[in-house]
Structure 1
Amino acid sequence: MIVVLIGYMASGKSVIGKVLAENLNYGFIDLDDFIEEKEQKTISDIFKLNGEIRFRKLESHYLQALLSTEDNLVLSLGGGTPCYGDNMKMLLDSDQVKTVYLRASVNTLVNRLKNEKSKRPLIAHIVSEDDLIEFVAKHLFERRQFYEQAEVGITTDNKSVGAISNEISEFLNQ
């Protein structure tokens, strides 16, 4: 089985994914880290040197490759991955994939993002917190239609990583 965590950037996909994988005794892959390793470039560099369209094509290519594995795996996707190409359809059509949307409020996301903007190519240019709030709210609204297609949605606001991991495990055991 492949448990795929989707959600907006800073929703906790990587942190929760690592704990969940450990609890399930599964492997863990963060798709962005996987792409960086395969391409020998940071995501920021891929965006700068090749543009977002090239990055999205790479993302789809590597997602498809990872979904063909027979291994038990927790896979954390980038925030935009489900929203481009046929990525969400690919996830939902796979019999071995369980999709989990990690839902966080705009305030939670902004609080997590405001100190790590330089690591996030989509928001690196945003200066004020008000502009960041507006960007995240608008972007989340646009992407929510993709995220909401996941088999289960779990709200992460004010919950520990362990509690969220347990909720996902309960869903998987149904």
Structure 2
Amino acid sequence: MKIYLIGFMGSGKSFWGRKLSESMKLPFFDLDDMIVQQENKPVTDIFMEKGEEYFRGIEKEMLHDLTASHENFIISCGGGTPCFFGNIDYMKSNGKVIWLNTAADVLIERLLKEKKHRPLLSDIPDEDMKAFIMKKLHDRKLYYEQAHLSLPEETLSLKQIQEAVENE
């Protein structure tokens, strides 16, 4: 079984991916962490030094490599992964795509606390964060909505996610 977790940054993909991996005894990969290992630098540095386009290309390659080289896994995708290079269609044709659909207010609260670690947010003043997140979320929702499953992250339990995955 191949499971791709998608959703906006701060939606809980890595958190739930690790839990689901333990529970289902499947390998877990965090796409951003894999890129950091390969490039030997943080995502923020990759964005600053080589740009988003370079990052998205590496992200696509990593997604395809992991998919081709493993029969079973859970992948926590970056927030923008489904939005580039037809990645959403690729994931849907190779496994189950689950959107952790987290409320905007929850995302804003979480992301304000960790914005220095988020390349798309690091230069945005706190007072402009809500508008930026709302716009970016609106732009990406078109891709997120294509997932096989949409789960409200704030009310999730591990049991609910497993049942949803197994019954899809």
Question: Is contact 1:10–1:109 with CA below 8 Å preserved after alignment?
Answer: yes
> Is 1:132 equivalent to 2:129 in the alignment?
yes
State the partner residue of 1:80. 80
Write 1 or 2 for the structure with the bigger share of helix.
Answer: 2
Q: How far 1:125 moved relative to its partner?
A: 0.8
Q: How far 1:62 moved relative to its partner?
A: 0.6
CA distance in 2, matches of 1:105, 1:16: 16
Matches within 5 A, 1:105-124: 105-124=103-122
Which amino acid in the other structure matches residue 173 of structure 1?
A: E
State the partner residue of 1:29. 29
State the partner residue of 1:98. 96
CA distance in 2, matches of 1:23, 1:15: 13
CA distance in 1, matches of 2:69, 2:97: 16
CA distance in 2, matches of 1:141, 1:46: 25
Matches within 5 A, 1:1-174: 1-94=1-94, 97-128=95-126, 130-157=127-154, 159=155, 163=157, 165-174=158-167
Question: Is contact 1:100–1:168 with CA below 8 Å preserved after alignment?
Answer: no
Which amino acid in the other structure matches residue 49 of structure 1?
A: E
Which amino acid in the other structure matches residue 17 of structure 2?
A: G
Q: Secondary structure at the match of 1:149?
A: coil
TM-score (norm 1): 0.93
Q: How far 1:144 moved relative to its partner?
A: 0.3
| Structure 1: unaligned runs, 5 residues or longer | none
Q: How far 1:69 moved relative to its partner?
A: 2.4
| Structure 2: unaligned runs, 5 residues or longer | none
Which amino acid in the other structure matches residue 142 of structure 1?
A: D
- Sequence identity of aligned pairs in percent? 37
Q: How many residues align?
A: 167
Q: How far 1:127 moved relative to its partner?
A: 1.4
- Cα displacement string for residues 104-155 of structure 1 (whole angstroms, at most 9, x for unaligned residues): 1110001100011100000001112x41111111110000010000000000
CA distance in 2, matches of 1:19, 1:109: 20
Q: Secondary structure at the match of 2:113?
A: coil
TM-score (norm 2): 0.96
RMSD, aligned CA: 1.0
